[in-house]
Amino acid sequence: MQELFTREKGLERKILIVDDEYIEREMLAAMLSDLYDVSYSENGEDALVFIKENKYTLSLVILDLHMPKLDGYSLLKIIRSDAQLRRIPVVVLTSEKGSEVECLQMGAADFITKPYEAPDIVRARVGRAIELAEDSIIIHETERDSLTKLFNKEFFFEYGKRLDRQRDNSPMDAVVVDINRFRIVNALYGRSYGDEVLKKIGNALHDFVNNVGGLACRSGSNSFDIYIPHYDDLEEKIKGFFSKLEQSTKENKVTVRVGICLDEGQPSEMVEKFDRARLACHKLSSGYTNCLGFYDSKIQNREIYEERLIKDMDTAIEEHQFKVYFQPKYNITAEVPRLTSAEALVRWFHPELGMISPGDFISVFENNGLIQKLDRFVWSETAKQIKQWKQKYGKSIPVSVNVSRVDIFEPKLEEILLDIVKGNSLSTGELLLEITESAYTDDSMQIVEKVSSLRNKGFKIEMDDFGCGYSSLNMLTALPIDALKLDMKFIRNIETNPKDYSLVCIMTEIAKLLNVPVIAEGVETKGQVDLLKKAGCDIIQGYYFSKPLPTKEFDALIDKIKSEDI
Ligand code: C2E
Ligand code: CA
Ligand code: CA
């Protein structure tokens, strides 16, 4: 046991013996000096000077209570109340019965009674006090985030639960703080700058929690959680925090968004409250100002609705509640527009909730991976339909399907698509793939590789929602694509807003540069068609020609075209 506390010669731990009696000092030194680097002080004042000078290296103080100048009680009080000295354990020397308890209450680590017990006991007590203090520093470091010194997530939830128990579950509010566009801050100014920002926000939160009570932690690379007693005026308090944050981060140009779940008496676990606060936070857009949002009944209802959709998804696939609609795409380069292809768009006919549009469920399914199952269903249904049209009309109508960003990370994507195509005796060129532009910015190298490989197999790739992502011009030239699909928000106002029209012209120019056709979607009026034609757009999809149609109506459309051709 003793070996635990010994160190090599020259590296011994430093301890200070403070006692005005020469004999006492010498006796202790005799017991300890072969294990430790021992120093002495004769009174409290000298001791304090020594302790301050050696605050980073001193491992322990052995303190007599009765001394001239500054007595042991007062010195102990000073050490315990000083943030920098507090970590140094103090073992008190005492001959009075009863003073032990008082000293332990004042924060002494242990006591040694006079006259001294056997040297082994003294050594063990000293060694133990040092070990405990060092352990508690290690614990402190493991439970804290090294950069901000706030708790890390695991300890935060552990201590939060303890706090709940201590406070007999009196109301506690959960608050989530996210730094807006932190990734960009890091990318633009470098990591050490980002670290500074994190530290400043961490400090501001530390002060906030010190003020209002509770706990704070760093819960992610750009996010913080705080758990605080419930306040009716929390919004005001957070605004106070905003103004303090603004002062400290003025030149850093960063803003935060804050999501709050108020504890309004309903029983709920800490973790649950934070899930809700996080949801409220994510609903806020990452703008250029600080903002806050509460978890409310609207978010709750949406959450319940989404849960329902997730729960019902499997049955819906089994019972064919999902139907694939087809929206025709027309080539407008010739005098008369000509039906060339279509886009497959899914609809959900829910037995109780009625028709649900994809805008309501696609992102929900993307968040939990269910989208892969749905997309496979849509791809197979589409391939079957292409095959049927081919058999019925003796002509292939290529159809594009949406490939979610989640699908792209599926290692077997190529295999799955090839199986579907071959299973319906189609060529890869008949099933077009729409991939949204923003997917390319997620992990561009991996996506470029995947997409190149699909193209090598003969699939044609259309870049969907072009203009909404962040492709740079030089990245575009490297991207493997066969068509650009302009996002409909650029089309909406081209008749009234010349700037929007110029943008469309620029984007068609880019497509020409890349040598790929341009598809415009969301086209609703004759005026838009004319302008798009003038801008050099090749293909048009939109209500002007047709809404997405169920198979039967799409059949009727082909029949009509065929009869007009004849
Ligand atoms: P998207 O791929 O950009 O599809 C175009 C959306 O615009 C469709 O909405 C379509 O119905 C709508 N639209 C077409 N023409 C017009 C028009 O003239 N005016 C207006 N206002 N809207 C028009 P929809 O069907 O609600 O689909 C929304 C989004 O859901 C799609 O956007 C696509 O991102 C996604 N989506 C749809 N089906 C699938 C699918 O099977 N798989 C995946 N992963 N996503 C899908
Ligand atoms: Ca699409
Ligand atoms: Ca689109």
The answer to whether residues 489 and 457 touch, using CB atoms and an 8 Å cutoff, is no
User: How much is the pLDDT for 4?
Assistant: 40
User: How much is the pLDDT for 236?
Assistant: 92
Nearest alpha-carbon partner for 530 in 498, 506, 495, 561: 495
Q: Which atom of ligand 1 is nearest to the CA of 358?
A: 30
Tell me what percent of the residues of the chain surpass a pLDDT of 70. 96
Tell me what percent of the residues of the chain surpass a pLDDT of 90. 65
Q: Residues 6 or more apart from 223 whose CB is under 8 A from it?
A: 176, 177, 178, 179
- In the beta sheet, which residues pair with residue 141? none
The answer to whether residues 81 and 111 touch, using CB atoms and an 8 Å cutoff, is no
User: How much is the pLDDT for 185?
Assistant: 84
Nearest alpha-carbon partner for 331 in 402, 403, 427, 397: 397
Q: Please determine, for residue 221, whether its predicted confidence score (pLDDT) is greater than 60.
A: yes
Preceding omega of 115 cis (within 30 degrees of 0): yes
Taking residues 64-68, report their average pLDDT. Answer: 88
Is the shortest distance between the CB of 327 and ligand 1 below 6 Å?
A: yes
- What are 13's two structure tokens? 């731990």
User: How much is the pLDDT for 40?
Assistant: 94
pLDDT digit string (tens) for 540-561? 999 999 999 999 999 999 999 8
Taking residues 516-529, report their average pLDDT. Answer: 97
- Cα 370 to the center of its chain, rounded Å: 20
Report residue 262: phi and psi, to 5°. Answer: -80, 140
Of the pLDDT bands very low, low, confident and very high (cuts 50, 70, 90), residue 189 is confident
Is the shortest distance between the CB of 346 and ligand 1 below 6 Å?
A: yes
Report residue 345: phi and psi, to 5°. Answer: -130, 130
**What is the residue with the minimal CA distance to atom 27 of ligand 1?**
358
Is the shortest distance between the CB of 99 and ligand 1 below 6 Å?
A: no
Is the shortest distance between the CB of 358 and ligand 1 below 6 Å?
A: yes
Adjacency order of strands within the sheet including 151-152? 151-152, 215-220, 223-229, 172-179, 256-261, 291-294
E-state strands within 495-547: 518-521, 539-541
Lowest mean pLDDT among 129-133, 185-189, 397-401, 431-435: 185-189
Is the shortest distance between the CB of 355 and ligand 1 below 6 Å?
A: no
**What is the residue with the minimal CA distance to atom 17 of ligand 1?**
522
pLDDT digit string (tens) for 484-506? 999 999 999 999 999 999 999 99
pLDDT digit string (tens) for 466-478? 887 766 666 777 7
Q: Please determine, for residue 279, whether its predicted confidence score (pLDDT) is greater than 70.
A: yes
pLDDT digit string (tens) for 114-170? 888 888 999 999 999 999 888 887 777 788 898 999 999 988 998 899 888 888 888
* Separation of CA 194 and ligand 2 centre (Å): 36
Nearest-10 Cα torsion for 215, 219, 221, 223: -70
CA 279 to CA 39: how far, in whole Å? 58
CA 497 to CA 493: how far, in whole Å? 6
Of the pLDDT bands very low, low, confident and very high (cuts 50, 70, 90), residue 2 is very low
Would you call 265 helix, strand, or coil by DSSP?
Answer: coil
Strands 151-152 and 223-229: unpaired
Residue with tokens 């306040």: 231
Residue with tokens 């700058």: 193
- In the beta sheet, which residues pair with residue 62? 17, 91
Is the shortest distance between the CB of 362 and ligand 1 below 6 Å?
A: yes
Is the shortest distance between the CB of 63 and ligand 1 below 6 Å?
A: no
Is the shortest distance between the CB of 310 and ligand 1 below 6 Å?
A: no
* Separation of CA 13 and ligand 3 centre (Å): 69
* Separation of CA 466 and ligand 2 centre (Å): 10
- Cα 305 to the center of its chain, rounded Å: 23
Taking residues 178-191, report their average pLDDT. Answer: 87
Q: Please determine, for residue 1, whether its predicted confidence score (pLDDT) is greater than 80.
A: no
The answer to whether residues 143 and 151 touch, using CB atoms and an 8 Å cutoff, is yes
pLDDT digit string (tens) for 299-311? 989 989 999 999 9
Of residues 249 and 25, more confidence is placed in 25
Lowest mean pLDDT among 6-15, 261-270, 378-387, 437-446: 6-15
Q: Please determine, for residue 566, whether its predicted confidence score (pLDDT) is greater than 60.
A: no
Would you call 169 helix, strand, or coil by DSSP?
Answer: coil
Q: Please determine, for residue 6, whether its predicted confidence score (pLDDT) is greater than 70.
A: no
Q: Which ligand is nearest to the CA of 522?
A: 1
Q: Please determine, for residue 8, whether its predicted confidence score (pLDDT) is greater than 80.
A: no
Q: Residues 6 or more apart from 75 whose CB is under 8 A from it?
A: 18, 44, 47, 48, 63
Is the shortest distance between the CB of 542 and ligand 1 below 6 Å?
A: yes
**What is the residue with the minimal CA distance to atom 32 of ligand 1?**
359
Taking residues 219-235, report their average pLDDT. Answer: 93
Nearest alpha-carbon partner for 339 in 164, 117, 529, 545: 545
- Sorted by where each starts, the structural domains of the chain and their CATH numbers stand as 2-143 (3.40.50.2300), 151-295 (3.30.70.270), 343-558 (3.20.20.450)
Taking residues 74-90, report their average pLDDT. Answer: 90
3-state helix, strand, coil in the chain (%, to 5): 50, 20, 30
User: How much is the pLDDT for 10?
Assistant: 55
Average predicted confidence (pLDDT) for the chain: 90
pTM exceeds 0.75? no
Would you call 406 helix, strand, or coil by DSSP?
Answer: helix
CA 167 to CA 417: how far, in whole Å? 57
Q: Which helix (H) or strand (E) holds 387?
A: helix 371-393
Q: Which of 341, 362, 370, 416 to mutate to test the pocket of ligand 1 (most atoms within 8 A of CB)?
A: 362
**What is the residue with the minimal CA distance to atom 24 of ligand 1?**
358
User: How much is the pLDDT for 341?
Assistant: 97
